[in-house]
Amino acid sequence: MTGYGLAYVALAVRDRQAASEILGDDLGLERLSLKGHDGPVPTFGVGATALALFEVGDPFLTSERAGVDHIAFAAEDPRATAEACGFAPDSLVGPGLSGAEQIVIPRSETEGLATRFTTPLGLSGPASEQVERIDHLGIASADNRSAEAIFADRIGLPVESRQTDMEVSIAVESFTSDKYGVVYRNRAPEPVGGLRVSFLTTGDCELEFLQNFDPSHGVEMRHGAAGTTKQDQGAIAGYVAKYGAGLHHIALKTPDIDATLARLGAKGRRLIDTKGRPGSRRALIGFVHPAALGGVLMHFVEREELSDA
């Protein structure tokens, strides 16, 4: 079995107009339109897939919260595909975007990741100067092994890579003598916080499963201040504790992260990181404050692609 690409990613926002301005005007993404249950749905092509904007509370969504709401895999026969992946044939059925057939898989069967299968919508968008494509979708995970058993083994998404992100503290002792001079000794590094990360490829992007590595978490993300690995860990652990496992953020690949963040900052968009900082897969990352995108947490990624050869 081969993996599936994404038909679309659904974003639940508090202000569709403001979110549309950021994606379209600020980031230069091509605007499309889909037919929703209650009228047109603003949609933006991002590489091989699309971002569909819904107002919080729309009955098409899976929750009442702002954020990344659900993903929809493209499949010619959604029901047959869901059954072939081992999901119950009685999974919820209903009309999708633009009247497409869709199967909604209960979150209890997907480790909390709100997942659908839908007939292909034929959506895509060219790269802009700021955004090349979706880099990944961040998922707050309670158990990466269980998530891989579903999305890699059953659905067939290839595992792109696995890694552990750790922040460590290194104490340095000094011994200063008027006769023997100064001697420095490093103590063994002590873990401060970390995440276990699995990347699974779907189409031209990845699903990034983020699992808390250190149970002694407790640091919250300080919005408005540049982030750290420990803060990232605290944000993921706190999300799982409050909401359970599920979609946490979206990351867009950019050719120049500092220029893209500076562009948004110059337009008055609220940022968490004003410069790119080290992230997964040898990347530079930078977060936009969720208030800027109607409650959706988004960050940018600048990184070089590595060949599989």
pLDDT of residue 150: 97
Instruction: Kindly indicate the confidence band of residue 222, based on its pLDDT and cuts at 50, 70 and 90.
Output: very low
- Within a domain: residue 250? yes
Give 46 or 231, the one with higher predicted confidence: 46
Higher pLDDT, 127 or 213: 127
Structural domain includes residue 269? yes
> Does 230 fall in a domain?
yes
Task: Return the number of other C-beta atoms located less than 10 Å from residue 176's C-beta.
Answer: 9
Q: What is the pLDDT of residues 109-143, one digit of tens each?
A: 999 999 999 999 988 889 999 999 999 999 999 99
For residue 307, being part of any structural domain is answered with no
Is residue 309 in some structural domain? no
Q: Which pLDDT value is given to residue 71?
A: 98
pLDDT in tens, 5-56: 999 999 999 999 999 999 999 999 999 888 888 889 999 999 999 999 999 9
Instruction: For residue 1, tell me if it sits in a domain.
Output: no
Residue 234 binned pLDDT confidence (cut-offs 50, 70, 90) = low
Number of domains within the chain: 1
| Model confidence, pTM | 0.86
Residue 19 is part of which domain span?
Answer: 6-302
Whether 308 maps to a domain, the answer reads: no
Phi, psi of 56 (to 5 degrees): -55, 135
List the CATH number of the domain containing 154: 3.10.180.10
User: Has residue 90 got a pLDDT over 80?
Assistant: no
Confirm whether 229 is domain-assigned: yes
